[in-house]
Amino acid sequence: MRLTAKQNNTLRAMLSWLAGIIMFFPIFWLVLTSFKTELQAISVPPLLFFEPTLENFILVQERSDYFTYAINSVATSFGATLLALLVGIPASYAMAFWPSRFTKDILLWMLSTKMLPAVGVLMPIYLLVQKAGLLDTRTALIIIFAMINLPIIIWMLFSYFKEVPREILESARMDGASTLDIITLLLIPLTRGGILSTALLSIVLCWNEAFWSINLTASDAGTLTALVASYSSPEGLFWAKLSAVSTLACAPIVVFGWFCQKQLVQGLTFGAVK
């Protein structure tokens, strides 16, 4: 049996929806659990229909000031991403359009700075941050997050910049545009989708970073991962409360991602330009 194009597309749309639902299901389950009582959360068989309760969310807000942590998370992940983009965009631009014979090695070396596992360098970094008087500050987290993500940002930007036809930039240069103009007025708008998805990934990685944000903070600069850590695995049942706090911790970034997703895929349409 041969499918018509229309049938084919319907089937494909259904498959896409199915894939989306399967991937999202664990998150749905997490959110669902956050409206259960602790006893309902461990019930066998698991409950799909129940009387929802807001008890967990009320408890979380009563116990800890969600917004302090949320603000720290926003400040550190956006701050670090901005910082990394600021130094990363010019570097990727130069490497993508004016590569030298070292460029490939530099790129690989940059990625290799991430090879030291965090647990192995806890002591050196902790001592450095302590000596600099930056324990429990957002500054320390911003710098570290920026350094952790810089190689990834450069790699991704590099690959997106590579897709921009060189002629466009060349002709702008012929018209006398400065390097800064080319980057800000031409390259960034042209690769908006790529830069945004790079930024989004970097923000998400910072947002979810748990090792440094827990080990280097105390009461002032704690991020949402520290908040989640204060709800995970206590003595006693905790799945409903943990689900509630995780829902709260992930919600801003999911909403932000939702907000961005249209932008992500726009602006990368050089096919038409060529």
Site for another protein in 173-202 (CB under 8 A): 173, 179-180, 184, 193-194, 197, 200-201
The radius of gyration of the chain's CA atoms, rounded to the nearest angstrom, is: 23
Q: Distance between CA 140 and CA 237 in Å, rounded?
A: 35
5 interacts with another protein by CB under 8 A: no
User: From the list 57, 66, 114, 168, which residue makes contact with another protein (rule: CB under 8 A)?
Assistant: 114
171 is an interface residue for another protein by CB under 8 A: no
* One of 42, 54, 58, 132 touching another protein (CB under 8 A): 42
158 closest CA partner among 190, 189, 198, 186: 198
When asked if residue 9 is in the footprint of another protein (CB under 8 A), the reply is: yes
CA 164 vs. chain centroid, Å, equals 24
Q: CB-based burial of residue 84 (10 Å sphere; 0-12 exposed, 13-18 middle, 19+ buried)?
A: buried
With binding defined as CB under 8 A, does residue 61 bind another protein? no
Asked if 150 is part of the footprint of another protein (rule: CB under 8 A), the reply reads yes
Give me the least distance between CB of 147 and another protein, in Å please.
4
For another protein, the binding residues in 224-243 under the rule CB under 8 A are 224-226, 228-239, 242
Task: Please give the size of the binding site for another protein, defined by CB under 8 A.
Answer: 141
Which residue of 50, 70, 91, 172 would you call a contact of another protein, by CB under 8 A? 91
> Does residue number 58 form part of the binding site for another protein (CB under 8 A)?
no
CA 213 to chain centre: 15
Asked if 124 interacts with another protein (CB under 8 A), we say yes
Q: In this chain, which of 2, 4, 45, 176 binds another protein, going by CB under 8 A?
A: 45
Query: Can you say whether the dihedral through the CA atoms of 120, 129, 71, 75 is positive or negative?
Result: negative
CB 204 within 8 A of CB 189: no
In the complex, what is the shortest distance from the CB of residue 234 to another protein, in angstroms, rounded to a whole number? 4
Q: For helices 103-112 and 138-162, give the axis angle rounded to 10 degrees.
A: 150
The number of beta carbons lying within 10 Å of the beta carbon of residue 209 is 22
